[in-house]
Amino acid sequence: MSAHLSKSADLPQLSSKWRTADAGSDQSDRSDGKRLALSGSGPAEAIRSFRRRLIAEASRDITLLQGQCSSLLNEQEKKRDQLQKELDNEVTSESKQANDAHEAFLGGLRRSIGPESEVYKDAAARVDDAGKDLRKVQSDVGSRPLRIQFGWLYYVIMGVLALAEAPINRAAFELTFREEPLYSLLLAMAVGIVLIFFAHLIGLILRRWPDKPRVSQIIVRVGGMAVLLSIAGLGIYFIARMRQTFLRLTSAESEGFGSRLQEALQGGPGQVVAIVTDAPFSVGDFAFIAINLLLFVFGIAASFLRHDPHPDYEKAVKAKTRADKVKLKLDTRYQGKVADEVSRFEVRKRGFETRINSLQTSLTAIANDEDMVRSHLVRATGLAAQTVHSRCGTFVDAFNDAKSKETPTMETPEFGALLADLTNQTKLGSEAVANAS
């Protein structure tokens, strides 16, 4: 059978003479009944002979139909066995292999870049350690937020302040490196860097002043700031004097200053200091000092605002952030590969499910076809039994009409008995009849 049966009409059929009694058989049965009655035959022997003949004829046609139906059932059974083998062995085996490969791939991912890999475990341990350090610091500061300003802009601000010192202080070094202006610029930049670095240190000391400092801490911190402020102040003062000296040497109004400075240089350092510092600062000199001090104080304020009072708070936050980013990157990579594999596996899984559903649908259709063939055979036997019963009734009526008064009345055989005779002779079996019913 190339395709499953859609209706009973696709099945082999019983001979038409056994599906219903026709006019020809009706006339023949009446003639036989009348003839046997007139010949004086006994009713029991006559109906038994007639019944046996009809059962034999119907059994031959039913046996032929049964053979044709058996061929269909055998063909369907071969198809069912083939499909069941494909379902049980090939599809199930391929599905299991695909599932095993999927699990093995996911296991490999877990061991290579996932939670079971060394790099992932190390990253997770770093996150835990950084979290513990951060929680300890937060416990020390009462869980207050981090107090910092500017962020990375702080380094830009301090760099700009250091560079701003260069053109301001450059004139001070022109006194010595007048012939090498690049040296003057580099020295001015170095001085600016030193001053801003001192401002950074002073702002840091002020920002991280203990809430309840000990005497030793006060002495160390105050002493450190005093040293830094003294160096910065003296530096700004002497740079101002060097700038003033250079400007006096280059001024047309101070033509005698150069000769007096030359004489002082020959007399010793004391005379040099005396002649350099004998002139009072002008407004421009005080403005120069004010600008340097302003930049220096601005650097102290920027440093103060940039740093948190707790020395380890910002470091702990950055360490936790870095650890989280590393772990997040590993998680993202791992989850992405897992998602890709799951997506590929789902496609294959749907393919297997489609094949399994198709095979199960075909097996169900075959089972329905087999049931339909068996039911068809049982119904055909029932139709033949009804036809035999009808013809026996015609035969009996004709016999009773033609018999003499002394002859006993002939009785029509029961339908159940006729069906049992047909069933037994065609080996259909009472169980098949009962199941089909």
pLDDT of residue 26: 87
Residues 169 and 116 in one domain: no
Residue 253: the pLDDT is 45
Helix axes 415-426 and 313-402, enclosed angle (nearest 10): 110
What pLDDT was estimated at residue 118?
Answer: 93
Same domain, 363 and 347: yes
Same domain, 412 and 433: yes
Residue at 155 is within a domain: yes
In-domain check, residue 338: yes
Question: Are both 163 and 293 inside the same structural domain?
Answer: yes
Q: Considering the domain boundaries, does residue 46 fall inside one?
A: yes
The reply to whether 4 falls in a domain is no
Q: Which of the listed residues 307, 331, 359 is the one where a domain comes to its end?
A: 307
Dig out the tokens for 91 from the structure: 């599809």
Are both 280 and 193 inside the same structural domain?
yes
In this structure, are 397 and 436 located in the same domain? yes
Q: What is the pLDDT of residue 4?
A: 56
Do 199 and 133 lie in one domain? The reply is: no
Residue 294 and residue 349 in one domain: no
Mean pLDDT, the chain cut into blocks of 10 residues (437 residues total): 54 81 84 88 89 90 88 88 83 85 92 91 94 91 87 89 81 63 81 91 90 88 93 86 69 48 47 52 81 91 90 90 94 93 90 86 88 87 90 90 84 89 69 40
| Helix and strand element counts for the chain (H, E) | 14, 0
Query: Does residue 121 sit in helix, strand or coil?
Result: helix
Q: For the chain, how many structural domains are there in total?
A: 2
- 341 is written with which tokens? 């594999």
User: Does residue 401 fall inside a structural domain?
Assistant: yes
Residue 90 domain flag: yes
Does 243 lie in the same domain as 230?
yes
End residue of a domain, out of 281, 307, 333: 307
The domain of 57 spans 25-33+40-146+315-369+380-437
364, burial (CB in 10 Å: exposed 0-12, middle 13-18, buried 19+): exposed
Q: What is d(CA 298, CA 307) in angstroms, rounded to the nearest whole number?
A: 15
The verdict on 257 and 364 lying in the same domain is no
Distance between CA atoms of 166 and 182, rounded to whole angstroms?
A: 11
Could you say which of 265, 286, 307 is where a domain stops?
307
Residues 405 and 259 in one domain: no
Same domain (yes/no): 352, 217? no
Nearest residue to 263 via CA among 281, 250, 276: 276
- Which are the contacts of 129, defined by CB distance < 8 A and separation ≥ 6? 323
In a domain, 11, yes or no: no
| The overall pTM is greater than 0.75 | no
Q: What is the pLDDT of residue 198?
A: 94
